[in-house]
A and B are shown apart, each in its own frame.
Chain A
Amino acid sequence: MCWSGIPHVCRNVAWKILSRYLPLMADRREMMLKKKRQEYFNLVDQYYETRKQAIHADTYHQIHIDIPRMSPLIPLFQQELVQEIFERILYIWAIRHPASGYVQGINDLVTPFFVVFITEYIPLDIRTYKVNSLPESAIQNLEADSFWCFSKLLDGIQDNYTFAQPGIQKQVNTLKDLMMRINSELHQHLTSNHVEYLQFAFRWMNNLLMREMSLMCVIRLWDTYLCESEGFASFHLYVCAALLNKFSSELLQEKDFQGLMLFLKNLPTQHWNDDDVRFLLADAYRLKFAFADAPSHLKE
């Protein structure tokens, strides 16, 4: 039911359940939330001060300079209070995951959760909402819930962010194999022009297409990712393949490396709406259905 898009009013709860953060049994939810929220703020108390230590200075500095640069056009994210929340979430996550630490791009991955969860407290248009007018407890719950769901997401794709980013390298190779099979003409065209998949698809994997689409489109995309098993690690590949397929004719018209690269790095998807995402997901599903269970599918 959620696969085909979650209605706005249910999304907050649905995402928390699908992230396996909120229990299915309604009567257990309150207790669990209380416990997890407390646990998060214990972590903050325990770790956040360490950002001032020399050994963690680089991590904190990187987070600190990235936060003001994310989603610069959405005023919500320019509010000091919101930026502080993001800093804490990212720092606490980084410090508890030393194998990867903070990697640029994962800051983007907090935003869909934050934006979806804030709807529990405020009406529809959140873009210019002054978060500091919310009660303190609501702000804290929002922060803790965002942290835990963001953590669950990253648990599934952690090797995307460890040294040399092996998860991404593997995904990009798999995407290439997949394209060879589903659209060999386009694949040939890219390779004969010396375009390497890593050159354009790296960001697609590192930021889960968040740089290619509006936040609202990404949220719609994630409705489905959260429903798929390994949505962010595996189904995402079929979405990337569907995306390449979608622009196949435009790409085939580009006659050289620079033309192809500029197109791929600036896909005309910035003004997409829900329908575009729906069609993309349908294509991705079709590809997955046709190729995922085929015998020579995605050779390991």
Chain B
Amino acid sequence: MSFQGPEEYDYLFKIVLIGDSGVGKSNLLSRFTRNEFNLESKSTIGVEFATRSIVVEGKKLKAQIWDTAGQERFRAITSAYYRGAVGAMLVYDIAKHATFENIDRWLKELRDHADDNIVVLLVGNKTDLRHLRAVMSEDAAEYADRNNLIFIETSALDSTNVEHAFQQCLNEVYKRVADRHFSNVNIGQTTALPTTNLQSTILEKKFCCNS
């Protein structure tokens, strides 16, 4: 499981996956980081963690992705992970309307705990369940528009748009970083960022990691 050997990257971005229980957050993560999907994956307890690097405009971006448990009771634990996040994927299940209705609550969570300039994607997952669709794309797109979110529909099961969703998130984060949008950026730091008491948001690193 561990990544051995020296690894270089230019930026380390912390991304969080949030949304109701059972919408497919963990499978989006495993599809993106390991190209795996598990129909019977267990519920997430607290938070899970994975990384993957992609290249944008010649820069290597390492995404450090935190997949949070959807149940309300874990909120006190999971909200700590929003700090320092530069991107968030707010996930709902297109076949379960209630999970879309709860997006408001999740958005509020983000507004309360995350950086104001965090890039937020609204992700309608499980498009493979087209015969069970309960949330119309137009409604979600309109909601996203109103709230300044990037909207995308995915299927972690058949891979549709998963890569694209994360790419888009990282692209947008990179754009905002290049434009110096983040208020509490700590460019040039060489420490890993994810502790709850660190304010560092984005870490620019060269030739580091395991070296």
Which residues of chain A have a CB within 8 Å of any CB of chain B?
Answer: 58, 62, 65-66, 68-70, 72-73, 100-101, 103-105, 161, 163-165, 193-194, 196, 198-199, 202-203, 206-207, 211, 254-259, 261-263, 265-266
Please give me the residue from chain A that is nearest to B211 by CB atom: A255
Shortest distance between the CB of A240 and any CB in chain B (Å):
14
Contacts of A68 in B (CB 8 A): 40
Contacts of A196 in B (CB 8 A): 195-196
Query: Do A259 and B2 form a contact, CB below 8 Å, given A101-B73, A103-B71, A194-B198?
Result: yes
Contacts of A105 in B (CB 8 A): 43, 45
Contacts of B195 in A (CB 8 A): 194, 196
A262-B50 in contact (CB<8A): yes
Contacts of B45 in A (CB 8 A): 104-105, 202-203, 206-207, 211
A262-B192 in contact (CB<8A): no
B69-A104 in contact (CB<8A): yes
Contacts of B211 in A (CB 8 A): 255
A202-B77 in contact (CB<8A): yes
Contacts of B199 in A (CB 8 A): none
Contacts of A100 in B (CB 8 A): 73
Main secondary structure of the interface of B (DSSP, over half): loop
B46-A206 in contact (CB<8A): yes
Query: Of residues 22 to 36 in B, which have CB atoms within 8 Å of A's CB atoms?
Result: 22
B71-A104 in contact (CB<8A): yes
A/B pair count, beta carbons within 8 Å: 102
Query: Do A62 and B210 form a contact, CB below 8 Å, given A164-B76, A202-B77, A206-B46?
Result: no
B1 at the interface (CB under 8 A from A): yes
B43-A69 in contact (CB<8A): yes
Q: Which 8 A-B pairs have the closest CB atoms?
A: A257-B192, A72-B40, A202-B46, A164-B76, A266-B1, A194-B195, A203-B45, A255-B210
A73 to B42: give the CA distance in the assembly, Å.
10
A52 to B8: give the CA distance in the assembly, Å.
54
Contacts of B73 in A (CB 8 A): 100-101, 103-104, 161, 163, 165
Cβ 8 A contact of A194, one of B21, B74, B191: B191
**What 1/0 flags go to B65-82 for Cβ under 8 Å of A?**
000010111101100100
B2-A263 in contact (CB<8A): yes
A256 to B80: give the CA distance in the assembly, Å.
21
Which residues of chain B have a CB within 8 Å of any CB of chain A?
Answer: 1-4, 21-22, 40-51, 64, 69, 71-74, 76-77, 80, 191-196, 198, 208-211
Mind listing 29 A-B residue pairs with CB under 8 Å?
Answer: A58-B72, A62-B71, A70-B42, A103-B73, A104-B21, A104-B44, A104-B71, A104-B74, A163-B76, A194-B195, A196-B195, A198-B46, A199-B46, A199-B47, A199-B194, A202-B45, A202-B46, A203-B45, A207-B45, A211-B42, A211-B45, A256-B192, A258-B192, A259-B2, A259-B4, A262-B1, A262-B2, A263-B2, A265-B48
Contacts of A259 in B (CB 8 A): 2-4, 210
A254 to B196: give the CA distance in the assembly, Å.
21
Shortest distance between the CB of B149 and any CB in chain A (Å):
25
Cβ 8 A contact of A263, one of B1, B47, B72, B209: B1
Query: Do A165 and B77 form a contact, CB below 8 Å, given A256-B210, A262-B2?
Result: yes
Cβ 8 A contact of A265, one of B22, B49, B80, B192: B49
B77-A198 in contact (CB<8A): yes
Contacts of A198 in B (CB 8 A): 46, 77, 80
Contacts of A101 in B (CB 8 A): 73
Please give me the residue from chain A that is nearest to B78 by CB atom: A202
| Residue from A65, A66, A261, A263 with most neighbouring chain B CB atoms (10 Å) | A261
| Residue from B22, B48, B73, B195 with most neighbouring chain A CB atoms (10 Å) | B73
A254 to B2: give the CA distance in the assembly, Å.
8
Please give me the residue from chain A that is nearest to B49 by CB atom: A261
A69-B42 in contact (CB<8A): yes
Shortest distance between the CB of A277 and any CB in chain B (Å):
21
A263 to B198: give the CA distance in the assembly, Å.
22
Shortest distance between the CB of A124 and any CB in chain B (Å):
25
A292 to B191: give the CA distance in the assembly, Å.
35
| Residue from B46, B194, B195 with most neighbouring chain A CB atoms (10 Å) | B46
A73 to B39: give the CA distance in the assembly, Å.
11
Contacts of B51 in A (CB 8 A): 258, 262
Shortest distance between the CB of A218 and any CB in chain B (Å):
14
A194-B3 in contact (CB<8A): no
Shortest distance between the CB of A9 and any CB in chain B (Å):
31
